[in-house]
Amino acid sequence: MNFNYTNPTMIQFGEGKISTISTLIPAGQRVLFLYGGGSIKKNGVYDQVVAALSGHQWFEFSGVEANPTVETLNKAVDLLKGEGLVYILAVGGGSVIDGAKYIAAAACYDGDGWDFLEGKCQVLKALPIGAVLTLPATGSESNPNAVITKAATKDKLDFGSKLVQPRFAVMDPTVMKTLPQRQLMNGIVDAWVHICEQYVTYPVKAMVQDAFAEGLLRTLKQLAETRDNQDDTWRENLMWAANQALNGLISAGVPSDWATHVLGHELTALYGVDHARSLSIVQPWLFRHEIEKKRAKLEQMGRNVFALDVGDDLAERTIDAIEAFYQSLEMETQLSDYGTDKATAVDALMAQLKAHGRDNLGEHQSIDEAGMRSIFELAVA
Q: Which spans of this chain sit near ligand NZQ (rule: CB under 6 A)?
A: 36-40, 43, 66-67, 92-96, 98, 134-135, 137-140, 143, 145-147, 175-176, 178-179, 183, 186, 190, 246, 261, 275
Determine the length of the chain.
Answer: 381
Determine the residue type at 210: D
Nearer to Zn ion, 190 or 363 (CB): 190
- Burial of 180 from C-beta contacts in 10 A (0-12 / 13-18 / 19+): exposed
Q: In terms of CB distance, is 143 or 219 closer to ligand NZQ?
A: 143
Question: Smallest gap, in angstroms, from Cβ of residue 160 to ligand NZQ?
Answer: 8
Distances (CA, A) of 176 to 37, 67, 189, 191, 232: 16, 19, 16, 16, 10
Beta strands in the chain (DSSP E): 10-13, 31-35, 58-61, 87-92, 129-133, 145-150, 155-160, 168-171
- Residue 71 has phi, psi (to 5 degrees) of -60, -45
- State the DSSP H helix or E strand holding residue 219, giving kind and residue range, or none if neither: helix 207-225
Measured from each CB, the residue nearest to Zn ion is 190
Dist. CA 297–CA 291, nearest whole Å: 10
Count of residues that interact with Zn ion, criterion CB under 5 A: 1
Residue 99's binding partner out of ligand NZQ, Zn ion, none, with CB under 5 to 8 Å set by partner kind: none
Q: How far is the CB of 245 from Zn ion (least distance, A)?
A: 9
Question: For residues 12 and 201, which CB has a smaller minimum distance to Zn ion in the complex?
Answer: 201
Residue of 113, 114, 97 whose CA lies nearest to 247: 97
- Shortest Å, Cβ 98 to ligand NZQ: 5
Is-contact 95 64, C-beta < 8 A?
Answer: yes
Residue 274 in contact with Zn ion, rule: CB under 5 A: no
Name which of ligand NZQ, Zn ion, none residue 264 binds, using a CB cut-off of 5 to 8 Å depending on partner kind: none
Find the shortest distance in angstroms from Cβ 243 to ligand NZQ.
11
In the list ligand NZQ, Zn ion, none, the entry touching 245 (Cβ below 5 to 8 angstroms by class) is none
In the range 185-214, which residues lie near Zn ion by CB under 5 A? 190
Cβ 292 to ligand NZQ shortest distance, Å: 26
User: If contact means CB under 5 to 8 A according to the sort of partner, which of ligand NZQ, Zn ion, none does residue 137 touch?
Assistant: ligand NZQ
By CB under 5 A, what part of segment 161-190 binds Zn ion?
190
Is the CA virtual torsion 243, 249, 254, 255 positive or negative? positive
List interacting residues with Zn ion (CB under 5 A): 190
